[in-house]
Amino acid sequence: MALYSGLSAQLGFAEETTYGTYTAPTRFYEFLSEELKMEIERVESEALRAGTRTLRSDRWTPGKKNVEGDVELELMTKGAGLMLKHMLGGVTTTQPDVANSPTVYKHTFIPDEVPTGLTCQVGRTSIDGVTRPFSYVGCNISEWELEAGVGDPVKLTVSLLGRDEATSQPLVTATYPANNHIYTFIHGSLTIDGTPLDVKEFSLSGENGLDDDRYFLGSQLRKKPVQAELLNFEGEVATEFNNLDLYNKFIQGQEAALVLTFDSGVVIEDALTYKLVVTCNVRFDGETPTVQGPEVLEQNIAYKCIDSGSGPGSAVKFELFTSEATP
């Protein structure tokens, strides 16, 4: 029986070898929402013509094309590596214990040059029950945000910049990883300088500083965005007011090691589990705890990731433990 709504929508990605060249999706994701869309500027003549009161049909033409939009996912034990690679750029793969656990891989992601690009295909179902493919080529992740809070699954939102949109490519049949599991707040823990911290909410966002205005004579399409600003990684931690330790770090301008761990508890092999570890060197930017009523005092701690001097990987690093050999 056909479905006539978003219940039959699908989302797939593939890495491109050549920027902006369609590649059939090979990775499919369960997703919460997507806002990818094409925008086309209109170039209109402003010249005066005797007796003309409105714009003529032969005095305007399509201009620059721009694809952009957010995709919101729940972080899962499989499939996250592709997103992390295109969020940060640099990746190395090792095996923690190849002798005893040959199916366990550790992918380490650090800030580096943005990869070539992604093809993203969204299957959107019209009211006639037909799922229609919208394919987006040359997609780079310009911004992203990782969020976790008590009572919720861990969410990942990526903002995409794309080159073009087409509906002519066939809809690729969606296939999903077997035995995939969500990460939730229950799987999370956080330490600051090695000391555990009780956290209610956590967020970490990244901006890749991409130049999205690389248009030139002879084409409606944007050339591949390149980094034109410093990378920026920042976030916020919501906790209870425990003592003056974090406040003093803020006041004194001290940097600290922040480590966020999501351990699914799902065993890959030989007691090694699917796990994501995020390590940041952070500066705290506030704030002073205040009294808002009779409730337990809370403290919202804004932070910014800082290169300690040994390279961008010292500012932020993601380590993903998975059964997938390729991120």
Please report the pLDDT score of residue 3 as a whole number.
80
- Residue 1 above 70 pLDDT? no
Please report the pLDDT score of residue 237 as a whole number.
96
Closest CA to 278 of 197, 198, 191, 207: 191
3-state secondary structure the chain: CCCCCHHHCEEEEEECCCCCCCCCCCEECCEEEECCEEEEEEEECCCCCCCCCCCCHHHEEEEEEEEEEEEEEECECCCHHHHHHHHHEEEEEECCCCCCCCCCEEEEEEECCCCCCEEEEEEEECCCCCEEEEEEEEEEEEEEEEEEECCCECEEEEEEEECEEECCCCCCCCCCCCCCCECEHHHEEEEECCEECCEEEEEEEEECCECCCCCCCCCCCCCCCCECCCCEEEEEEEEECCCCHHHHHHHHCCEEEEEEEEEEEEEEECCEEEEEEEEEEEEECCCCCCCCCCCCCEEEEEEEECCCCCCHHHCEEEEEEECCCCC
Q: Nearest 5°: phi and psi at 44?
A: -120, 140
Mean pLDDT across 243-255 = 93
Please report the pLDDT score of residue 264 as a whole number.
97
pLDDT band at 4 (very low <50, low <70, confident <90, very high): confident
- Residue 107 above 70 pLDDT? yes
In this structure, the strands spanning 37-44 and 60-74 are antiparallel
Q: What is the pLDDT of residues 19-42, one digit of tens each?
A: 999 999 999 999 999 999 999 999
Neighbour-count burial of 80, counting CB atoms closer than 10 A to its CB (0-12 exposed, 13-18 middle, 19+ buried): buried
- Residue 286 above 90 pLDDT? no
Q: What is the pLDDT of residues 153-183, one digit of tens each?
A: 999 999 999 999 999 999 999 999 999 999 9
